[in-house]
A = this chain, B = another copy of it.
């Protein structure tokens, strides 16, 4: 590689400021690192696009202190209604099922448009430690990679040229004024979503050319980076530079999307519905915020032409609405306000590689594309970078060994493949014609569809995600399996899965908290000490012994924490005991579990009781998690709330071995 003088040097360069890019920026904003994030578009999303948020996504957003904003503004989807043709061919409600499986999370699935989620990310990024700001209308045009620097994670092997676009270049063309389909309000301005659909041609090359031709395009900058992450969508420029590919297929199924305030006599318009008509195709109803309803509508009339791509000029809101009217007849459907519309062709593709030497990564649509109907797009994309962000940050900050970066592809590629498989099956069942009877082999069994829906809900929630064994996920502790006796996905402690949440009381002030609220995404590892009933002398003595070892000058806790930093800054220890709260005095517990500092005195926010609250009942944390009050358990939690290790409270050696595998000793 030729020597280049850099205009700027960064720790992390993020290409793309959609949900995946913003989630990553959100993580990095929590650290003292230099990060830049660029996006070729000059504005953020205001309407339409992805909107479904699964309960794991809400837990994650809540860990960044923005979950409550989503929860308040969003529409909560509680029940799914299935509509199928009856014996006469008329559609009837055949089933009702809960939208989110009961008990797996403290949140349920909600719907809020992507633009609001992006707003919340931008707000919280602004409040972070770094001076991170999204740079819009900025396009990467050239990529160089110096392999010789790949092994040194303090070095900057990545060189990227960024060009700032003119406003005109950065603003996508839209179709402009569209008459409302039922004619009550003509000429309403409607956002045409086709320009971002996979039916639209990719304009990246065009944009690059334009900036080269046009001197007014503004400055060009050469950036050197330690890490780069491509969050730049299905046509990822970063992926192209790496020469990685997506493999998979597209189908002949074309679907349209309308975001409208419906005027309809269909009874379940505020429920999530899956409607299979006898032979007009299918509709999915997603009720949204602000009286809006999103309809996903199968477009049987739109044919896929040569080259396997549909003719997008044939697709208008009128065409989409008429399809919906046919499917939903005899119910009437009209609207006087349309907020957004688009169309897409179903396909499923997944990336072969997720990273180059753990220095350049791909995330989100850049490594997996699929149909939007399972409400997975924004979720899996955000969860990719939620997985990646803290790993890059802790390596870049010198807290963890670079070896942990390999777990990104290990963990997320399997999730992507599962998603593609799920979507493949689900799309086929949704786009197929209902079987007339058991002999109708070409038709889709409505029983099979319902079954797929119910099972799909567990997958879709992302609560079932179960990461493989690695340096940072280890099932190989002798005692783990004996400690946890209960097996119920989402409600019990399972190595590789996210820590479930139950209500516990702060020992110091009796306030009830969801345990998860005490696990914010701030980059810290955590040891949860389910210390058991501390009024029992044996149980207390085990806890005290651990406290002594942790407090010792040579303990791993001190070794992995910089001498100048607070003792809880790298690994935070939280105690959840099962003694009656009133029978325990915080001051009688080892100081390491409620550490003292000169400035603030003792820490009153680290010890909790599994006990009855005055106003919010009893969380029954031990009972729900299958924990024995006489034995308890120690649980190590990653910065992303996934369980790394489970052992006995007194197993200091096991904890030391676990952290010793990847933590860097500090001074």
Contacts and interface: CB of A to CB of B under 8 A. Distances in A.
Nearest to A603: B291
A402 to B, nearest CB: 36
B287 A601 contact: no
Greatest chain B CB density within 10 A among A102, A599, A613 is at A599
A336 B598 contact: yes
Contact of A96 (B72, B269, B582, B613): B582
Interface stretch (A260-268, A362-370, A519-527): A260-268
Contacts of A587: 265, 267
B599 A261 contact: yes
A526 B53 CA distance: 34
Interface stretch (A221-229, A505-513, A540-548, A549-557): A505-513
B270 A509 contact: yes
Nearest to A79: B510
Contact of A184 (B270, B598, B613): B598
B287 A98 contact: no
Given A76-B511, A287-B509, A100 B601 contact: no
A158 interface: no
A509 B291 CA distance: 12
Given A76-B511, A614-B78, A600 B263 contact: yes
Contacts of A76: 509, 511
A602 to B, nearest CB: 8
Interface residues of A, number: 44
Contacts of A601: 261-264
Interface string A286-311: 01000100000000000000000000
Interface in A36-85: 68, 72, 75-79
A581 to B, nearest CB: 9
B108 A599 contact: no
Nearest to A265: B587
A510 B78 contact: yes
A62 to B, nearest CB: 11
A459 interface: no
A599 B98 contact: no
A314 interface: no
A270 B78 contact: no
Contacts of A98: 614-615
Nearest to A55: B615
Interface string A182-205: 001000000000000000000000
Greatest chain B CB density within 10 A among A68, A96, A262, A270 is at A270
A592 to B, nearest CB: 17
A91 to B, nearest CB: 15
A337 interface: yes
Given A108-B615, A291-B600, A68 B78 contact: no
Contact of A100 (B79, B604, B615): B615
B102 A615 contact: yes
Interface in A231-266: 261-265
Contacts of A582: 96
A585 interface: yes
Nearest to A601: B263
B604 A270 contact: yes
Interface in A339-374: none
B614 A79 contact: yes
Nearest to A587: B267
Contacts of A270: 506, 508-509, 604
Given A98-B614, A615-B108, A598 B263 contact: yes
A275 interface: no
A499 interface: no
Contacts of A615: 78, 98, 100, 102, 108
Contacts of A25: none
A575 to B, nearest CB: 16
Contact of A271 (B68, B287, B509): B509
A187 to B, nearest CB: 16
A584 to B, nearest CB: 11
A509 B613 CA distance: 31
A586 interface: yes
Interface string A580-596: 00100111000000000
By Cβ-Cβ distance, the 5 closest A-B pairs, closest first, are A263-B601, A270-B509, A78-B510, A270-B508, A98-B614
17 contacts: A78-B510, A78-B512, A79-B510, A79-B614, A98-B614, A98-B615, A261-B599, A262-B601, A263-B598, A265-B587, A269-B604, A270-B506, A271-B508, A271-B510, A287-B509, A336-B598, A337-B599
Given A264-B601, A265-B587, A269-B604, 15 more contacts: A68-B68, A68-B72, A76-B511, A78-B512, A78-B613, A78-B614, A98-B614, A98-B615, A102-B615, A261-B600, A261-B601, A269-B508, A270-B604, A271-B508, A337-B599
